[in-house]
């Protein structure tokens, strides 16, 4: 998916070293903008495969329809179910809240990691990257060098230390299209197909491209992909844009991204209207086309990922906020919430609500680089860090008659649990001979398991940044800068008091778990090419201090 966003023209940057630094950055951005396509065809209707005219006869009970809705970069505090919401609670998420109250809210749900692609791979497979090797987000050729160049040009503005670019690792990197979840991995889509499911992916994919790694190659009968990254054309009369002058990545994305989709890996075409609404329109069409057979829809929204763009109607409805970017961001959340509401309403209209399991989550925590300090409140940290703010995510499940409404689960669960849980809901067997790290959390969701712990231990790993949560103890071991953090989440869920010096025996015990986990796994499929600094306790665009806690995120 990112190939056509960032790939073209980046290799040419290598030869610009003799130019003045700021001029190099200007040229990089100009090169990126020059790669934009001007020939993307207008929108064309999707001829979705049509299910049978009458309900299929299946052995045993018909399994439930399954819809998994994944937001992108959604902050924990963006959901009013958790007592939050932007603008000190001004912006509510009533449809997402209703989904949560109709089923179960997991109060300690964790993403697979603190960045998008590996987290999505863990959702699909129920396996850690130490098993699959898919540890880092795919990086287009030359992108790491460009990101460092642009970031370093803005260091005086950001107050951040320099990014680290590993030029010596470039030779080890496969081509962008080969940086994907291996086709030998078994996905939840492939598992569900053994039970007669029609499987459809809509939206962001980001775990590889082409005949081995793309959505159609990984068990989906149909796919409608986000081919680039604009929510609407930048000059559309119905859009309000919020550019982040303090974020080097944002500068690059605005220069390079386009407004495009593709069906079943075919040619690009323009979406129809605001991207979140378009994905929802097409999801509704798939629901209607498949009402007489079990289906699995993986709706993977781009919202609320940058570039920040909102429909003007939503922007006007939100009204004034603390800043222009907060208002645009709030309007994007309104669109995401509307998507959930429309899907639930369609299921009710079609008489399908009682036999549909809906799961909602986010791929990781909210990012600090958008400059909104409270989106992960009350937790420390951001996307691209393994503090709670980077990995604590909303997760809700609704299945009328199967999951009691108004349920809550306090026990820690994780994205790796979704694959075996959805398989269990469908009555599908897990693949033989494959070690699945996640577990079925339906007993917890249904109250049968109560708040018993599905896991004693959960792991996160991104090269030299490794974390383990064992019961309520959480150890973070960071290579750059060399740091160790130990927290008792039972008494300190917001990670304020580092107990590493006071509890060396606990540090040693948890280090052993980390070392054993790493030793039992495989090497990453390809190396991390860039390590970027993240300020844990402040959003980008706010004033840097000497006391800033910094962690480098490898990718």
State the burial class of residue 377 (Cβ atoms within 10 Å of its Cβ: 0-12, 13-18, 19+): middle
pTM check: above 0.75: yes
Instruction: Show the 3-state SS of 241-305.
Output: EECCCCCHHHHHHHHHCCCCEEECCCCEECCCCCHHHHHHHHHHHHHHHCCCCCEEEEEECCCCC
Q: What is the DSSP string of 485-540?
A: EEEETTT-TT--S--TTT-HHHHHHHHHHHHHHHHTS---SS---EEEEEETTS-T
Q: For residue 470, what are the β-bridge partners?
A: 457, 473
What is the pLDDT, as a whole number, of residue 298? 98
Q: Which residue is listed with tokens 């509890």?
A: 503
Q: For residue 478, what are the β-bridge partners?
A: 465, 483
Q: How far apart are CA 244 and CA 342, in angstroms?
A: 31
Which sign, positive or negative, has the C-alpha torsion 387, 203, 214, 307?
negative
Residue-wise pLDDT tens digits, 8-39: 333 333 333 434 445 567 766 776 676 778 78
The two three-digit tokens of residue 281, written as one number: 């329109």
Q: Find how far residue 157's CA is from the centre of its chain.
A: 28
Residue-wise pLDDT tens digits, 142-182: 777 777 887 888 887 778 889 999 999 988 998 887 899 99
CATH architecture of the domain with range 464-523? 2-Layer Sandwich (3.30)
What is the pLDDT, as a whole number, of residue 158? 78
What is the pLDDT, as a whole number, of residue 463? 95
Among residues 469, 518, 410, 413, the alpha carbon closest in space to that of 123 is found at: 413
CA angle 235, 236, 239 (to 5 degrees): 105
Domain 3-455+527-554 has CATH 3.40.50.10470: no
Among residues 219, 208, 227, the alpha carbon closest in space to that of 41 is found at: 227
CA dihedral 187, 190, 193, 195 (to 10 degrees): -60
Domain boundaries defined on the chain: 3-455+527-554, 464-523
What are the φ/ψ torsions at residue 222 (nearest 5 degrees)? Answer: -140, 150
**Residues recorded for the chain:** 555
What is the pLDDT, as a whole number, of residue 32? 66
What is the pLDDT, as a whole number, of residue 285? 98
Relative to beta strand 530-535, strand 164-165 is antiparallel
For the chain, the 3-state helix, strand and coil shares in percent, each to the nearest 5, are 35, 15, 50
Name residues whose C-beta falls within 8 Å of residue 549's C-beta, 6 or more positions apart in sequence.
535, 536, 537
Q: What is the DSSP string of 374-390?
A: TTTTTS---TTS-SHHH
What are the φ/ψ torsions at residue 40 (nearest 5 degrees)? Answer: -70, 125
CA dist 184 to 204, 218, 237, Å? Answer: 21, 9, 46
Residues of the chain with pLDDT under 70: 1-24, 27-28, 31-32, 34, 57-60
């Amino acid at each position: 998916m990112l190939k056509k966003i960032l790939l073209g023209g980046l290799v040419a940057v290598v030869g610009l070293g003799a130019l003045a630094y700021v001029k190099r950055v200007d040229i990089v951005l100009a090169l990126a903008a020059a790669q934009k396509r001007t020939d993307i065809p207008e929108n064309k209707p999707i001829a979705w495969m049509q299910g049978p005219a009458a309900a299929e006869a299946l052995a045993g009970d018909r399994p439930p329809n399954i819809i998994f809705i994944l937001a992108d970069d959604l902050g924990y505090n963006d959901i009013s179910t958790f007592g939050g919401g932007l603008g000190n609670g001004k912006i509510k998420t009533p449809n997402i809240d209703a989904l949560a109250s109709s089923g179960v809210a997991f109060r300690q749900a964790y993403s697979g990691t603190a960045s998008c692609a590996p987290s999505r791979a863990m959702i699909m497979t129920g396996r850690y990257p130490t098993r699959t090797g898919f540890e880092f987000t795919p990086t287009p050729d030359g992108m790491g060098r460009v990101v460092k160049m642009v970031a370093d040009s803005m260091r005086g503005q950001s107050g951040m230390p320099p990014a680290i670019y590993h030029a010596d690792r470039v030779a080890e990197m496969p081509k962008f299209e080969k940086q994907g979840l291996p086709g030998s991995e078994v996905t939840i889509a492939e598992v569900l197909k053994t039970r007669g499911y029609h499987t459809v992916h809509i939206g962001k994919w980001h775990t590889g491209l082409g005949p081995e790694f793309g959505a159609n190659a990984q068990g989906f009968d149909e796919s409608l992909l986000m081919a680039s990254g604009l929510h609407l054309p930048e000059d559309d009369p119905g859009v309000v844009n919020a550019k982040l002058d303090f974020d080097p990545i944002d500068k690059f994305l605005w220069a390079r991204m386009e407004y495009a989709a593709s069906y079943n890996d075919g040619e690009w075409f323009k979406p129809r209207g605001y991207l979140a609404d378009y994905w929802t329109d097409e999801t509704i069409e798939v629901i209607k086309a498949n009402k007489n057979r079990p289906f699995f829809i993986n709706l993977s929204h781009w919202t609320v990922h940058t570039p920040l763009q909102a429909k003007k109607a939503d922007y006007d409805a939100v009204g004034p906020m603390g800043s222009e970017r907060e208002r645009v961001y709030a309007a994007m959340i309104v669109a995401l919430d509307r998507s959930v509401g429309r899907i639930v309403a369609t299921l009710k209209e079609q008489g399908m609500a009682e036999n549909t399991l809906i799961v909602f989550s986010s791929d990781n925590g909210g990012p600090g680089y958008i400059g909104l300090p409270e989106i992960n409140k009350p937790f420390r940290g951001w996307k691209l860090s393994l503090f709670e703010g980077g990995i604590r995510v909303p997760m809700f499940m609704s299945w009328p008659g199967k999951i009691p409404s108004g349920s809550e689960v306090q026990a820690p669960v994780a994205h790796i649990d979704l694959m075996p849980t959805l398989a269990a809901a469908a009555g599908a067997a897990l693949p033989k001979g494959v070690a699945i790290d996640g577990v079925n959390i339906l007993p917890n969701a249904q109250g049968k398991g109560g708040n018993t712990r599905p896991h004693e231990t959960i792991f996160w790993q991104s090269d030299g940044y490794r974390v383990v949560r064992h019961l309520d103890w959480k150890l973070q071991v960071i290579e750059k800068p060399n740091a160790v953090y130990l927290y008792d989440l039972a008494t300190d869920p917001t990670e304020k008091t580092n107990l590493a010096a006071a509890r060396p025996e606990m540090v040693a015990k948890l280090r052993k778990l980390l070392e054993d986990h790493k030793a039992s796994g495989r090497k990453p499929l390809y190396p991390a090419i860039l390590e970027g600094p993240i300020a844990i306790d402040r959003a980008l665009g706010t004033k840097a201090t000497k006391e800033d806690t910094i962690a480098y995120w490898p990718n």
